[in-house]
Structure 1
Amino acid sequence: MTKIINFVTGENQSNLDQLQKVLRYSLKGKRYLLVMDDVWNEDPEAWCKLKSLLLGGANGSKILVTTRSRKVASIMGTRGGTTGFNLQGLPFEDCLSLFMKCAFKEERDKHPNLVKIGVEIVKKCGGIPLAVRTLGSLLYDSTDEHFWEYVRDNEIWQLEQKESGILPALRLSYDQLPPRLKQCVAYCSIFPKDFKFDSYDLVQFWMAHGLLQSHNKKEDLEDIGMRYLKELLSRSFFQDLTFGMFGLEVLTFKMHDLMHDLAMLVAKDEFLVVNSDCQSIPKSVRHLSFAAANASRNDFSSLLSDLGRVRTICFSTDDDEKTSQSFVESCISKSQFLRVLNLSESSIEVCSRKMGNLKHMRYLDLSRNSKIKKLPKSICELQSLETLDLAGCLELEELPKDIKYLVNLRVLVLTTKQKSLQESGIRSLGSLRSLKIFGCRDLEHLFEEIDQLSVLRTLSIESCPRLISLPPAIKYLSSLENLYLARCESLDLNLNMEIEGEGSHHDRKNTRPHLRRVFIMEITQLLELPQWLLQGSTDTLRDLFIVSCPNFMALPRSLKDLEALETLVIARCPKLSSLPEGMHHVTTLKLLTIGGCPALSERCKPPTGEDWPKISHIPQVYLDGEMIK
């Protein structure tokens, strides 16, 4: 409810009473249309509360609800007292057209027998687009007639189905997955319906449970996880895919609720979402997700009697609930084999000292708990820990110095009140692949000898307004591939970079970073790209983004030497007035985007702009949002 009100009013408050007053005032005498898509809440009281807030609008206001639950339709009250509109399936011809687009890479005329079989498969899909798309993706680029017949004639179509009859189609697609991907799909059932997945977090979750496997020992688990994810995306197990800002590598997506039903079906008895009706947890359960109604309850003694076999505990809270501290303590003390603990946004104020007993813990998410001030020293005893997320812990005073003993830590996301991380012990985390420092309002210095993080691939520093400089040894992070710097108004990328730093090696020609992606945004001090940033990356840098840097004046002449550059984005850099000479030599460049740079845009306009000859060879060029070619 709070999210709806915040969206309507434009406010961002957590005080529900105040928000309700603002909403009533905002809607008073106004006609509105409210669309509530895919509603599953069957609590009549919740609907009555929301409806009472919406009664102040003018005549003609409408509320449109979509749901697959007849009970929801009945509770919310439908148009004219009827049962609402029961949507029919997609017409057969449209289904067939969709199927053919999904199933055939080449012209379908070359495979008349497959087309005939496809027609029969589509008839079995009952006009449900998800079933059509899923089976089309399953058969994509396959010309094996026997396989097509197997899909058409499979006995699973004979199973009695509830309501939509879609599960046979989805189950067929699931059954064709390799075993490793079947497990990944099943593990998604622990998340609630309509959950917005983050590719980065989901891969870490799979990794924590040992689902990522490869015969190539040199391949990082993170790369294996992304490969798994892209394969599931190609098979339509996820949808609503969006890319990160400016196409950065983090993907967000959702699982269709029918796919979620399938995931719950194949997960069988090992996964349980605990709701307010739950009286006990079966011994077969290995993965638990607590809904808000349970996270705040205190009568949990019988519910938590036996968690010895549990591997995952996730707390899901809404804006009006607060997780009981004693409830969390009890879960931790009774779950000695826990691998994943997600306490994000749970409103806890103190971290349990008993966390140190969770010797099998691999994934710990404490993010967005703004009242946590200290971490227990025992957390440094979690030597199996691979992911530690402390983003948004705004009151966290410092990291325990013994964090250096987390020898298997691969991902650290950090928000802290510290002014310096010099004594933090982060430099000793030899397995660290990703370090993200976010929202550290007082941070002025990182730590020297950062080059000891010899396998670090991603470094992200965002919203640290007092950070003055980067440690000189950053020039020698030999494995660094992705560098993100954003909203650090005091940061000078050239400051102290001529200093080699203590304990530095004399011969470092082969230890320069081989960057693939550089993203720089809202770095006020940036006048030009520093030379050290691109050294060593001439044959690896693919993507370069410079955004909202008001004093940025010049791209380096060495830009012409970048042999792998594919994407260059320059946005809201008004003092940048020209492109460097020799850009026509960057033949690998596929996309150039320029916006919010008035003088530069004018020089790049075809056919007479002075800089147009430098970029006319690029396949895609955008100027101020307009596609030039």
Structure 2
Amino acid sequence: MGGAGGSKIVVTTRKNSVASIMGNFPTHELKGLSHDDCLSLFVKCAFTDGQIKHYPNLVKLGDEIVKRCGGVPLAVRALGGFLFRKVDEHVWVSVRDNEIWKSKEDRILPVLKFSYDELPSYLKQCFAFCSLFPKDFEFNNRELIQFWLAHGLIQPSSQNQDLEDIGNEYITELCSISFFQDVQDCKFCVYFKMHDLVHDLAKSVAQFEQHTLDAIEKINSNEVQHVLLSGDDPEEVLTLLQKITKLRTILFRNGGATSLSFVTTCASKFKYMRYLDLSDSSFEVLPSSIGNMKHLRYLSLLRNKRIKKLPASICKLYHLQTLILAECSELEELPRDMGNLINLMFLSITTKQRALSGTENGLECLISLRSLLIYACNNLEFIFEGMQNLTALRTLVIVGCPSLVSLPTSVKHLPALENLVFGDCERLNLMDGDGDSEDDIQGSSSRLCTFIIGALPQLEALPQWLVQGPTTSNLHCLGINGCHNFKGLPESLENLTSLQELRIGDCPQLSTLTEGMHRLTTLKVLSIDDCPELSKRCMPKIGEDWHRIAHVPEINIDGESIKWTTNN
């Protein structure tokens, strides 16, 4: 409808019949990769560096396997990932001689099905559940792990294994055989997608009853467990859902204005619900009947701009693992007994409260909490002092809280803390209550890997506990951005013996690096943006600070990559 005169339409398809029907011009058939390109791709997927020369027989078998792939890169990558780290020749021979190659018409689906069949049972379940999301859906590791957890798909093999770590291992395994692709690692989240053929495979192997928006009118089975709906007209499907009693999951494809009556029906009817995503809903009060959903593991009210109150009964959801309240800008306060949610692992909050917790059974009692996001709390001035009780907390993010003046001293003593982010908190002074005593510094977290601060105009220097004491041994990433009064990096920065990334942006008063920068031998990435004086001093050859950073492999200054070798 929006095409101007002279526009062209390109139709892509895997079927010649579709191409012949749609085309006004001769079909252009894309050929497969050349054998050499396929073999190069296969070797990258199947072998580690330096492994090829030790296993010449495997390389020869790989060459024969590649010939059978017909130049299809997805098949090459899937099999290469499957054979990665497998050095038993019998395994490679079984792939080469497998019956999947008997299909002359399609080389992709049989290969993908073979890769699926070889997965361990726990991964098969996790993969199949991905079919509940629409094609071209952009997954991220945190949300997918929460989804898997809600359905009991992640099980530790020993007591000491963390469920989130296991979930990330599952994702890595599925990426290695190309069941996930277009992977982007953005520090706290890894984003990825499923190829549409892989999605078709997931749907075909799913061993549970599910329906999508397109088939919702055909639901006639009480065995349906998972539904994917449009957020535009949930009321129209409510009567159809009434006859289903075993519903476990409701997903909304486009978000939508979910009404109070819809939520009330869900809460009273679907006793076995585990995953309820009510993002972009528009009711003012969550019904108290939500407390009846005893099996609920995941509840999201993300971006509900009208909700003002949560019922006390929400604290009876003892099995709840994920609660998303971010961008609920009218939410007046959290329920008093949040501490009853003893299995809660992921919590995000937007509230109008002036102080968080302060009750005997509040947030400080969430002993299972792994991730806490406090976002856009405009009135928030104080955070509970008992934060040191959150012994499982690994990620703490506080962003968009302009009234927040200081943090409880217990923040730096969280024993499991790995990721710490502060941003857009104009009154926050990280130096308040920093403590100069040796005991205070030595008591800081030793597991902190990532520390990012942004848009903190009060910040003039880094806290002492960050660059001294146990914290220094494990910090990998340090980011400072939009701190207009930040004046200098401390000399003790050289204590960060594991630092791999240092990113500095929009800190105009920062004019020089520390003398000991050359001692940061583990530093791999240095990025400097919008720091005029500092950028000049770090220019290759002519900059006064260049000798301090010349050893860093990747240097980016104001968006330009600095290419430099000692031979230059």
Look up the match of 1:593: 527
Look up the match of 2:82: 138
Look up the match of 2:450: 517
Look up the match of 1:442: 379
Look up the match of 1:10: none
1:530 counterpart = 2:463: yes
Picking from 366, 374, 399, the partner of 2:309 is: 374
Amino acid of the structure 1 residue aligned with 2:209: E
Spell out the pairing of 1:266-277 with structure 2 (5 A cutoff): 266-275=205-214, 277=216
- 8 Å CA contact 2:465–2:471 kept in 1: the answer is no
1:285-326 CA-to-partner distances (Å, cap 9, x unmatched) read 333322346x52435334430223x322222225xx533543
Q: Aligned equivalents of 1:600 and 1:529: distance in 2? A: 17
Picking from 214, 239, 259, the partner of 1:301 is: 239
Give the 3 Å change call, closer, same or farther, for CA 428–377 of structure 1 in structure 2: same
Once superposed, what is the RMSD of the aligned Cα atoms? 2.9
Q: Aligned equivalents of 2:513 and 2:540: distance in 1? A: 15
Q: How many residues matched?
A: 558
- 8 Å CA contact 2:434–2:464 kept in 1: the answer is no
Give the 3 Å change call, closer, same or farther, for CA 68–436 of structure 1 in structure 2: farther
Counterpart secondary structure, 2:527 = strand
Look up the match of 2:69: 125
Look up the match of 1:353: 288
Tell me by how many angstroms 1:330 deviates. 2.5
Tell me by how many angstroms 1:65 deviates. 4.8
- 8 Å CA contact 1:361–1:385 kept in 2: the answer is yes
1:264-298 CA-to-partner distances (Å, cap 9, x unmatched) read 111133333243553225344333322346x5243
Tell me by how many angstroms 1:394 deviates. 1.5
- 8 Å CA contact 2:435–2:441 kept in 1: the answer is no
Look up the match of 2:41: 98
Counterpart secondary structure, 2:114 = helix
Spell out the pairing of 1:262-341 with structure 2 (5 A cutoff): 262-275=201-214, 277-292=216-231, 295-298=233-236, 300-308=238-246, 310-317=247-254, 322-341=257-276
- 8 Å CA contact 2:304–2:327 kept in 1: the answer is yes
1:252 counterpart = 2:196: no
Q: Which runs of 4+ in 1 moved over 6 A?
A: 69-74, 506-510
The TM-score, its normalising length taken from structure 1, stands at 0.81
Tell me by how many angstroms 1:527 deviates. 0.9
Spell out the pairing of 1:59-70 with structure 2 (5 A cutoff): 59-66=5-12
Q: Aligned equivalents of 2:405 and 2:18: distance in 1? A: 55
Counterpart secondary structure, 1:237 = coil
Tell me by how many angstroms 1:259 deviates. 0.8
Give the 3 Å change call, closer, same or farther, for CA 459–109 of structure 1 in structure 2: closer
Q: Aligned equivalents of 1:453 and 1:481: distance in 2? A: 13
- 8 Å CA contact 2:350–2:375 kept in 1: the answer is yes
- 8 Å CA contact 1:622–1:628 kept in 2: the answer is no
Tell me by how many angstroms 1:436 deviates. 0.4
- 8 Å CA contact 1:517–1:542 kept in 2: the answer is yes
Q: Aligned equivalents of 2:481 and 2:54: distance in 1? A: 48
1:13-58 CA-to-partner distances (Å, cap 9, x unmatched) read xxxxxxxxxxxxxxxxxxxxxxxxxxxxxxxxxxxxxx1xx15x4x
- 8 Å CA contact 2:342–2:367 kept in 1: the answer is yes
Spell out the pairing of 1:552-567 with structure 2 (5 A cutoff): 552-567=486-501
Tell me by how many angstroms 1:252 deviates. 0.7
- 8 Å CA contact 2:488–2:510 kept in 1: the answer is yes
Look up the match of 1:495: 432
Picking from 81, 92, 96, the partner of 1:148 is: 92
Q: Aligned equivalents of 2:222 and 2:269: distance in 1? A: 13
Q: Aligned equivalents of 2:51 and 2:157: distance in 1? A: 36
- 8 Å CA contact 1:203–1:222 kept in 2: the answer is yes
Tell me by how many angstroms 1:249 deviates. 3.1
Q: Which runs of 5+ in 1 are unaligned?
A: 1-50, 501-505
Q: Aligned equivalents of 1:299 and 1:563: distance in 2? A: 58
Look up the match of 1:454: 391
Spell out the pairing of 1:123-272 with structure 2 (5 A cutoff): 123-158=67-102, 164-244=106-186, 248-272=187-211
Counterpart secondary structure, 1:478 = coil
Tell me by how many angstroms 1:173 deviates. 1.0
Tell me by how many angstroms 1:223 deviates. 1.3
Amino acid of the structure 2 residue aligned with 1:306: I
Counterpart secondary structure, 2:218 = coil
Give the 3 Å change call, closer, same or farther, for CA 257–349 of structure 1 in structure 2: farther
- 8 Å CA contact 2:461–2:486 kept in 1: the answer is yes
Q: Aligned equivalents of 2:465 and 2:162: distance in 1? A: 27
Amino acid of the structure 1 residue aligned with 2:546: W
Look up the match of 1:39: none
Give the 3 Å change call, closer, same or farther, for CA 71–531 of structure 1 in structure 2: farther
Counterpart secondary structure, 2:421 = strand
Q: Aligned equivalents of 1:237 and 1:586: distance in 2? A: 38
Q: Aligned equivalents of 2:122 and 2:252: distance in 1? A: 26
Tell me by how many angstroms 1:582 deviates. 2.1
Amino acid of the structure 2 residue aligned with 1:98: L
- 8 Å CA contact 1:184–1:211 kept in 2: the answer is yes
Amino acid of the structure 1 residue aligned with 2:456: I
Picking from 392, 416, 427, the partner of 2:364 is: 427
Tell me by how many angstroms 1:412 deviates. 0.7
1:159-200 CA-to-partner distances (Å, cap 9, x unmatched) read 7x9x85521100111122222211211111111111111111
* Aligned residues with identical type, % of pairs: 49
Give the 3 Å change call, closer, same or farther, for CA 400–146 of structure 1 in structure 2: same
1:65-92 CA-to-partner distances (Å, cap 9, x unmatched) read 5456899989xx9564x69656454455
Counterpart secondary structure, 1:171 = helix
- 8 Å CA contact 1:478–1:511 kept in 2: the answer is no
Larger deviation: 200-209 or 473-482? 473-482
Tell me by how many angstroms 1:103 deviates. 2.8
1:538-591 CA-to-partner distances (Å, cap 9, x unmatched) read 212111111121211111121112222222111221111111222222222222
Amino acid of the structure 1 residue aligned with 2:444: R
Counterpart secondary structure, 1:459 = strand
- 8 Å CA contact 2:452–2:479 kept in 1: the answer is yes
Counterpart secondary structure, 2:396 = strand
- 8 Å CA contact 1:571–1:597 kept in 2: the answer is yes
Larger deviation: 105-114 or 474-483? 105-114
1:221-270 CA-to-partner distances (Å, cap 9, x unmatched) read 111111221122122111111122xxx13111111111111111111333
Give the 3 Å change call, closer, same or farther, for CA 608–96 of structure 1 in structure 2: closer
Amino acid of the structure 2 residue aligned with 1:301: T
Look up the match of 2:330: 395
Look up the match of 1:3: none
Q: Aligned equivalents of 2:364 and 2:55: distance in 1? A: 60
Spell out the pairing of 1:538-553 with structure 2 (5 A cutoff): 538-553=472-487
Amino acid of the structure 2 residue aligned with 1:591: V
Q: Aligned equivalents of 2:184 and 2:394: distance in 1? A: 23
Q: Aligned equivalents of 2:75 and 2:280: distance in 1? A: 35
Give the 3 Å change call, closer, same or farther, for CA 202–388 of structure 1 in structure 2: same
Q: Aligned equivalents of 2:465 and 2:56: distance in 1? A: 59
Counterpart secondary structure, 2:217 = coil
Amino acid of the structure 2 residue aligned with 1:183: Q
Amino acid of the structure 2 residue aligned with 1:272: H
Spell out the pairing of 1:471-482 with structure 2 (5 A cutoff): 471-482=408-419
Counterpart secondary structure, 2:191 = strand
- 8 Å CA contact 1:78–1:84 kept in 2: the answer is no
Give the 3 Å change call, closer, same or farther, for CA 282–124 of structure 1 in structure 2: farther
Counterpart secondary structure, 1:423 = coil
